[in-house]
Amino acid sequence: MAEPYAAGDPGRRPRSPRRKAVLVLVWTLVGAVILGGAGLTYLYFRLNGNLTSVDLDAKLGGDRPEDLPGGSTDILVLGSDSRAGENAEYGRDGGGARSDTAMIVHVYEDRKRASVVSIPRDTLVDRPECRRDDGDAAPAAERAMFNESYSVGGPACTVKTVEKMTGVRMDHFVEVDFSGFKRLVDQLGGVEITTRQDIDDPDSRLDLKAGTHTLDGEQALGLVRTRKGVGDGSDLGRIELQQVFVKALVQQVGQVDLLTSPAKLIGLADTATKSITTDDGLGSVNELRRLAESLGDIGPDDMQMATLPVTYDEQDGNRVVPLEKESAQVWKALREDRPIPESALKDPAGGQADRDRVVAAPPAGSEGLEEVAPRG
């Protein structure tokens, strides 16, 4: 669990590829980070043409949380699990895509730190009324699974659900799917992870012996999807792995000399822009680049990783519900542009005990990668 941020301003640090790599957290922005200075018109139009965007304002209307003054930015990052197209190999398309992964990335006004709050997909929430893709209204629902919002009304409904939960206005959203995630990791040349014991999960196609591995895209996808191979087999354990992987990925980008490899730079930018969907506000290479440049001083040690405080539902042990007091503290901190207090992050649904057993973080400031321990 991250320590609270210290008060005071340590001063601006020089930028480096590792500092700029915070955008890997928003996987879809990797291309923008490495693009800055390419300056080729044909490349700009090529990458711009790759992007897919959604007019979020038109879909959501005016019934949204207040856009608070100040320079903080909130981005909803979604990993969708559609089984359509290239993703069909991961299972049948059981009624449409769902948001398999959801993270709120809060970038503080000083642009030197960020908090990341993961929302378990099995969280029971009160979903607001949403518009389906065909324009029909989907009525509001109580005790709906969080990730069903995406299948009901796509990213707009997920954003609306998050805003209802949190009272925090989402400035942007970014979405990447299974196949896009794999391509990004492969373009980077893989990501190094150390496991303490063997991990074998046929459901996520992950089979790793204990030791240090450079995971390719398929293996990395297996790691962030596995539930049975680690921890208690819950979505909370998987979230811990996702957060570990994000930090490892951020470190990996700093080890790849993208800026002196034009072919790799262009390949990664092309892959990233083909792999994502954003809101219209981020729907161009220029806007992605501006955001990337504004976040250039944030590195792995500047990110507070958290999970929505939850407890197991009394009626259904396979579902979780937010802890009212602790969740309110999380969302209040983000609205007020403050670090999330430690009092809000105590052992959600037994998650801290799992974290201590599953994840071993390196010492503060260490360049070593995180370790992952499997279930058992």
What stretch of H or E contains 215?
strand 211-215
Whether 228 is covered by a domain: the verdict is no
pLDDT at 234: 65
Whether 305 is covered by a domain: the verdict is yes
pLDDT at 259: 53
Residue where the block lists tokens 């990110």: 303
Name the more confident of 114 and 95.
Answer: 114
Which residues, including other chains, have CB under 8 Å from residue 164's CB and lie 6 or more apart?
Answer: 125, 126, 127, 128
Pairing assessment for the beta strands 73-80 and 99-107 based on DSSP bridges: antiparallel
pLDDT at 96: 52
pLDDT at 280: 94
Whether 34 is covered by a domain: the verdict is yes
Phi, psi values for residue 196, rounded to 5°: -85, -30
Residue from 151, 225, 239 nearest 185 by CA? 225
Q: Rounded mean pLDDT of 112-125?
A: 91
Domain limits for position 271: 17-187+260-352
Whether 207 is covered by a domain: the verdict is no
Evaluate the CA torsion angle 200, 252, 101, 36 in order and state its sign.
Answer: negative
**Which segment, 261-265, 274-278, 362-366, is predicted with the most confidence on average?**
274-278
pLDDT at 171: 94
Whether 333 is covered by a domain: the verdict is yes
Q: Is the pLDDT of residue 67 over 70?
A: yes
Name the more confident of 182 and 20.
Answer: 182
Which residues, including other chains, have CB under 8 Å from residue 260's CB and lie 6 or more apart?
Answer: none
Question: Which of 119-123, 199-203, 357-361 has the weakest average pLDDT?
Answer: 357-361
Q: Is the pLDDT of residue 187 over 70?
A: yes
Residue where the block lists tokens 């969708």: 80
Whether 181 is covered by a domain: the verdict is yes
Total of domains in the chain: 1
Instruction: Name the percent of the chain lying above pLDDT 70.
Output: 70
Which residues, including other chains, have CB under 8 Å from residue 77's CB and lie 6 or more apart?
Answer: 25, 26, 27, 28, 101, 102, 103, 104, 105, 173, 174, 175
**Which segment, 172-181, 294-303, 329-338, is predicted with the most confidence on average?**
329-338
pLDDT digits (tens, 9 = 90+) for 5-18: 333 333 444 444 33
Confidence of residue 27 (pLDDT cuts 50, 70, 90): very low
Whether 131 is covered by a domain: the verdict is yes
pLDDT at 272: 81
pLDDT at 4: 36
Q: Rounded mean pLDDT of 281-301?
A: 80
Instruction: Give the CATH number, domain containing residue 293.
Output: 3.30.420.590
CA-only gyration radius of the chain, Å: 19
Q: Is the pLDDT of residue 114 over 60?
A: yes
pLDDT at 253: 64
Confidence of residue 347 (pLDDT cuts 50, 70, 90): low
pLDDT digits (tens, 9 = 90+) for 202-214: 888 888 887 888 8
CA distances from residue 117 to 63, 76, 245, 278, 307 in whole angstroms, order as listed: 23, 10, 15, 19, 5
Name the more confident of 67 and 241.
Answer: 67
Q: Is the pLDDT of residue 34 over 90?
A: no
Whether 330 is covered by a domain: the verdict is yes
Q: Is the pLDDT of residue 304 over 80?
A: yes
